[in-house]
């Protein structure tokens, strides 16, 4: 399965909630964030996906897009195509082959792999959109980390660009870790941190090792490594255990500034890395889905990606801080009136 | 054409009265006002303005319902709707009908029952008279549309917050002596400047209220007028016009072209100009609207409305008193009743019959009324001449 | 109580609301948005071709809708935000349009400010989310 990334873009909502606001409201902050991005009243996964999508489609021809892969765990309807909304807003051809992925945060890397597969060898482009704004009960520790963001990638068949080298994937049964019961909208878990932490470390660790083995690589062969970020310490500690240095990890660690962005939990960091990578750099990016499964993908930079005028740094710096009461109103918006 | 009778309820909050009772009250007052009496059988047609028919319970065939309630079931009657200008268009239709010679004696009136509605339902009805798709469902409100005009006017002409409030202060002061007014209480400039915001820069004191009320006038041909009264009020000029409904389609949002065109037609027909007007009732649904009206009606040059106001010319006692009734702002604004309510006020003023002598404009002979639909999608202007 | 715009009616406006598709008059060349039956500019053209607007424009006027006064469809949003800005924007292609402003600067909107269209949820009725455009300050 050959293919390459030719463009990428990100979107982070304007609103931020700081660790200090959690301390004021709850006496503590259960997440290892300095601040997190919060979707506004009128934003959802679809609008954020369009925000990121519009930026990359200013770089490539929308009419040439043959594949659309949309990843989100928080699409606004439980049943109803969201890809159609996005395609209509972006002006994509109706003949686009679309897939929607989203029963776990791993949907982000699943969308990259699906788009590469659907593209086959065709002389065309694929648009991958990942957007998420997960929420838990406002009183739950789980909610403290949950942020919001979107990323967009344009993929093409063939070599060059940021070339896809290979992937590893694993799936296994793991009960009670981060789930949304059917009909509900808020994330739950059984609240046993060591248990859920172990599932993450074991699964992501296994696929990273699988990938290194399959490609005959060592950790040091990668200039950048981006592991999925649902918690800052957990990600850093897994990286160390896998033999990666903080220099390899640093550029892709975004968690502390946006929080847990669901399907963007590693893709946002991946975009940060793509924005600065130089020809010859190798990049490893991993995804993780609760319950549970992992994926690891390897890329080599042949030529830099096309980037919109506003990179991730711009979106991270463009912000307005809100207080916890404002945040609570946003979290409870369905019940406001 | 002449107005030979006029009746209106007080405007305000009347939980004990519905649309029918309000209409009947105005009707009986109108009958009483006809100096030489009116045989109701002479009424040949009725034109009634109404937007919501009391919250939508009778959007179809409201007019026969009301006429039947006062014992006139066989009179051809029709409800006209142009939002806040419904009454003005009812009057316009009645005047045209008599002018054509087809009818000789007709009723023009209007009624609105707004105070039964919850705030939410009230906002529903206030928000269906602009371009619903592109104004209300873009999150804008009726006040918001006038606020867009006000902000632009402030930007272009340097109008201040204080000057806007002066309109409210004047009209509230006028309403104190008007027994028909909803708010018979003066407001200080400080109060008016610091009310709770509705749509920046407009605060609550810049906005007319929701009101219950009804108003009716009896129109007949000029030849017949003396059979009803020795003091008719003649309709010397009348004009109506429209504009793009949506504010976004109008090239200049600091003018109401509909009002300008209606005014031009009315002045031309009357052979009069702005300088001849002794008294005007203008459509001050928001304070900014009164200032725009000064310019649209030719009372002053463009951008000079605030000066006309500040110099006191449009206050009671000034050379061209505007809204001595209190206007929509303080007399009240029962949408469908407003246009004919203005005619009722002028009927009394030009006959020297303002109930409280303290508010009679002395020696007034020529008057004007100006009624605007929504943000200016429609407008009517009438010029009246006292007959004594 | 909403000002009911049926779902099929909203559906017909999807090209305008989702991606600002306007109509270019074949008589005078100017762009009508939202669509018109007869050209708003030359007053005679009734033959049009579709064109996509850039979404960029300039604030012609603005207001802030206070929480308590918002239309019923926007009451929850107003309750959440306290108030929200609404702008009358003159698009670079000529037409003007009213929409909400998102991510306003601390000091509020101002006349002459450059803005760009963004895709947002406008309101929801019958469980159906009505998406459309709003404007955001350009940087
Ligand atoms: Zn044309």
pLDDT digits (tens, 9 = 90+) for C42-62: 999 999 999 999 999 999 999
Residue positions counted in chain A: 337
CB contact under 8 A, B200 and C66: yes
Interval A265-279: pLDDT, tens: 999 999 999 999 999
- Measured in angstroms, how far is the CA atom of residue C44 from the centroid of ligand 1? 6
Q: How much is the pLDDT for A138?
A: 87
**Statement: residue B388 has pLDDT above 70:** no
State how far the Cα of B51 lies from the Cα of B112, in Å rounded to an integer: 7
Catalytic residue among B172, B174, B283, B333: B333
Least Cα separation, residue C59 to chain B (angstroms): 10
Is residue B200 part of the annotated active site? The answer reads: no
- Residue C138: inside a domain: yes
Q: How much is the pLDDT for B124?
A: 77
Which tokens in the block code for residue A99?
């897939």
- Residue B202: inside a domain: no
CATH number (domain holding residue C119): 2.40.50
Q: How much is the pLDDT for A193?
A: 86
- Residue B191: inside a domain: no
| Domain that residue B376 falls in | 2-118+209-386
Instruction: Report the SS3 class of residue A243.
Output: coil
**Statement: residue A197 has pLDDT above 80:** yes
B358-373 residues labelled b (16+ CB within 10 A) or e (exposed): ebbbeebebbbbbbbb
- Measured in angstroms, how far is the CA atom of residue C48 from the centroid of ligand 1? 9
Q: How much is the pLDDT for B103?
A: 98
Span B81-104, average pLDDT? 97
- List, in order, residues 6 or more apart from A245 with CB less than 8 Å away: none
- Residue C28: inside a domain: no
Q: Looking up tokens 């082959």, which residue turns up?
A: A97
**Statement: residue B24 has pLDDT above 60:** yes
3-state helix, strand, coil in chain A (%, to 5): 35, 25, 40
Query: For chain B, what is the mean pLDDT?
Result: 96
For chain C, report the end-to-end CA distance as a whole number of angstroms.
Answer: 38
**Statement: residue C1 has pLDDT above 60:** no
- List, in order, residues 6 or more apart from B296 with CB less than 8 Å away: B255, B256, B259, B260, B263, B370
Query: In C, residues 45-84, which contact B (CB 8 Å cutoff)?
Result: 60-66, 68-75, 77, 83-84
**Statement: residue B53 has pLDDT above 90:** no
- Measured in angstroms, how far is the CA atom of residue C47 from the centroid of ligand 1? 9
Interval A1-37: pLDDT, tens: 789 999 999 999 999 999 999 999 999 999 999 999 9
- Measured in angstroms, how far is the CA atom of residue C50 from the centroid of ligand 1? 13
Q: How much is the pLDDT for B116?
A: 87
Q: How many CB atoms lie within 10 A of CB B10?
A: 19
B65-74 residues labelled b (16+ CB within 10 A) or e (exposed): bbbebbebee
**Statement: residue B28 has pLDDT above 60:** yes
- Which has the minimum average pLDDT: A246-260, A283-297, B52-66, B185-199? B52-66
What stretch of H or E contains A83? helix A83-90
Beta sheet of A35-38, edge-to-edge order: A35-38, A15-18, A320-321
Nearest to B248 among C77, C84, C97 (CB): C97
State how far the Cα of B304 lies from the Cα of B294, in Å rounded to an integer: 9
**Statement: residue A329 has pLDDT above 80:** yes
CA gyration radius, chain C:
16
Q: Does C1 touch chain B (CB under 8 A)?
A: yes
Question: What is the DSSP secondary-structure string of A132-177?
Answer: E---B-TTSGGGGGB--EEEEEEEESSSSSEEEEEEEEEE---TTS
| Domain that residue C71 falls in | 55-139
CATH number (domain holding residue B63): 3.40.47.10
pLDDT above 70 coverage of chain B, percent: 100
Q: Which residues lie near ion ligand 1 (Cβ < 5 Å)?
A: C 25, 27-28, 39, 41-42, 45
State how far the Cα of A51 lies from the Cα of A150, in Å rounded to an integer: 8
Contacts of C58 in chain B (CB under 8 A): none
Record the pTM: 0.96
> How many independent structural domains does chain B possess?
1
Query: For chain C, what is the mean pLDDT?
Result: 95
CB contact under 8 A, C95 and B248: yes
- Residue C1: inside a domain: no
Domains in chain A (CATH in brackets) are: 4-160+306-336 (3.40.47.10), 162-301 (3.40.47.10)
**Statement: residue B121 has pLDDT above 90:** no
Give the model's confidence band at B123: pLDDT under 50 very low, under 70 low, under 90 confident, else very high. confident
User: Taking Cα atoms as reference points, which of A166, A141, A333 lies closest to residue A230?
Assistant: A141
3-state helix, strand, coil in chain C (%, to 5): 20, 45, 40
Least Cα separation, residue C137 to chain B (angstroms): 17
Least Cα separation, residue C52 to chain B (angstroms): 18
User: Taking Cα atoms as reference points, which of A228, A223, A220, A210 lies closest to residue A274?
Assistant: A223
Q: How many CB atoms lie within 10 A of CB B14?
A: 18
Q: Does C129 touch chain B (CB under 8 A)?
A: no
ipTM: 0.97
Q: How much is the pLDDT for A212?
A: 98
DSSP E strands, B254-377: 279-281, 366-373
> How many independent structural domains does chain C possess?
1
Contacts of B246 in chain C (CB under 8 A): 98
Is residue B285 part of the annotated active site? The answer reads: no
Q: Are B62 and B86 in contact (CB under 8 A)?
A: no
Chain C residue nearest residue B135, CA to CA:
C98
Span C75-89, average pLDDT? 94
């Amino acid at each position: 399965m050959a293919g390459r990334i030719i463009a990428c873009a990100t979107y982070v909502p304007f609103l931020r909630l700081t660790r200090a606001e959690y301390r004021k409201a709850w006496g503590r902050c259960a997440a290892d964030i300095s601040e997190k991005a919060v979707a506004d009243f009128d934003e959802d996964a679809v609008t954020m996906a369009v925000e990121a999508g519009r930026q990359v489609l200013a770089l490539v021809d929308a009419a040439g897009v043959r594949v659309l892969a949309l990843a989100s765990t928080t699409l606004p309807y439980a049943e109803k195509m969201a890809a159609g909304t996005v395609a209509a807003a972006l002006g994509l051809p109706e003949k686009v082959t679309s897939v929607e992925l989203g029963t776990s945060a791993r949907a982000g890397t699943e969308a990259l792999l699906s788009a590469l597969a659907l593209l086959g060898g065709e002389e065309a482009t694929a648009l991958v959109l990942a957007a998420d704004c997960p929420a838990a009960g406002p009183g739950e520790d789980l909610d403290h980390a949950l942020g919001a963001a979107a990323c967009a990638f344009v993929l093409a068949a063939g070599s060059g660009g940021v070339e896809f080298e290979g992937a590893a994937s694993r799936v296994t049964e793991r009960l009670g870790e981060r789930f949304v019961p059917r009909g509900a909208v808020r994330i739950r878990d059984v609240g046993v941190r060591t248990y859920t932490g172990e599932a993450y470390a074991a699964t992501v660790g296994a696929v990273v090792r699988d990938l290194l083995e399959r490609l005959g690589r060592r950790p040091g062969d990668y200039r950048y490594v981006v592991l999925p970020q649902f918690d800052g310490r957990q990600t850093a500690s897994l990286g160390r255990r896998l033999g990666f240095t903080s220099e390899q990890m640093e550029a892709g660690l975004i968690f502390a500034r946006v929080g847990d962005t669901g399907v963007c939990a590693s893709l946002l960091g991946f975009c940060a890395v793509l924005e600065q990578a130089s020809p010859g750099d190798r990049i490893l990016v991993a995804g993780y889905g609760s319950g549970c499964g992992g994926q690891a993908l390897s890329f080599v930079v042949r030529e830099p990606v096309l980037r919109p005028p506003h990179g991730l740094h711009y979106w991270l710096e463009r912000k307005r801080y809100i207080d916890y009461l404002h945040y609570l109103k946003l979290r409870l918006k369905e019940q406001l009136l | 054409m002449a107005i030979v009778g006029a009746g209106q309820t007080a405007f305000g909050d009347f939980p004990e009265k519905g649309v029918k009772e309000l209409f009947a009250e105005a009707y009986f007052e109108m009958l009483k006002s006809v100096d030489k009496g009116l045989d109701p059988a002479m009424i040949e047609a009725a034109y009634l303005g109404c937007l919501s028919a009391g919250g939508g319970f009778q959007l179809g065939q409201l007019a026969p319902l009301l006429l039947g309630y006062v014992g006139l079931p066989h009179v051809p009657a029709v409800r006209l709707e142009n939002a806040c200008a419904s009454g003005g268009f009812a009057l316009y239709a009645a005047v045209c009908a008599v002018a054509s010679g087809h009818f000789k004696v007709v009723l023009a009136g209007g009624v609105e029952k707004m105070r039964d509605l919850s705030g939410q339902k009230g906002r529903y009805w206030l928000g269906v008279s602009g371009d619903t798709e592109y104004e209300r469902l873009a999150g804008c409100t009726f006040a918001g549309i006038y606020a867009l005009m006000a902000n632009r006017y402030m930007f272009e002409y340097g109008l201040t917050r204080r000057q806007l409030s002066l309109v409210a202060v004047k009209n509230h002061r006028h309403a104190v002596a008007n027994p028909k007014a909803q708010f018979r209480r003066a407001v200080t400039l400080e109060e008016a400047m610091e009310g709770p915001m509705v749509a920046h820069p407009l605060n609550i004191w810049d906005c007319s209220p929701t009101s219950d009320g009804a108003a009716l006038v009896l129109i007949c041909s000029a030849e017949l007028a003396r059979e009803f009264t020795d003091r008719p009020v003649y309709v010397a000029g009348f004009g109506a016009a429209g504009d793009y409904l949506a504010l976004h389609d109008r090239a200049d949002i600091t003018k109401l072209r509909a009002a300008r065109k209606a005014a031009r037609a009315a002045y031309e027909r009357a052979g009069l100009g702005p300088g001849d007007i002794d008294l005007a009732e203008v459509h001050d649904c928001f304070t900014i609207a009164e200032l725009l009206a000064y310019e649209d009606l030719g009372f002053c040059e463009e951008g000079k409305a605030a000066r006309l106001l500040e110099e006191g010319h449009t206050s009671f006692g000034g050379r061209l008193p505007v809204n001595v009734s209190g206007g929509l702002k303080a007399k009240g604004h029962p949408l469908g009743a407003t246009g004919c309510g203005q005619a009722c006020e002028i009927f009394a003023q030009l006959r020297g019959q303002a109930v409280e002598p303290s508010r009679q404009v002395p020696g007034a002979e020529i008057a004007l009324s100006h009624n605007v639909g929504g943000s200016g999608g429609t407008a009517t202007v009438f010029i009246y001449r006292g007959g004594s | 109580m909403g000002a009911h715009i049926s779902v099929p009616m909203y559906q017909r406006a999807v090209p305008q609301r989702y991606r600002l598709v306007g109509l270019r008059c074949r008589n005078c060349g100017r762009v009508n948005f939202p669509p018109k039956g007869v050209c708003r500019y030359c007053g005679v053209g009734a033959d049009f071709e579709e064109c996509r607007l850039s979404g960029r424009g300039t604030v012609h006027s603005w207001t802030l809708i206070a929480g308590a006064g918002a239309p019923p469809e926007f009451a929850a949003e107003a309750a959440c935000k306290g108030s929200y800005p609404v702008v009358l924007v003159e698009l670079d292609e000529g037409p003007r349009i009213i929409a909400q402003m998102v991510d306003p600067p601390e000091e509020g909107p101002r006349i002459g400010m450059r803005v760009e269209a963004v895709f947002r949820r406008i309101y929801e009725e019958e469980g159906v989310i009505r998406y459309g455009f709003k404007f955001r300050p350009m940087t």
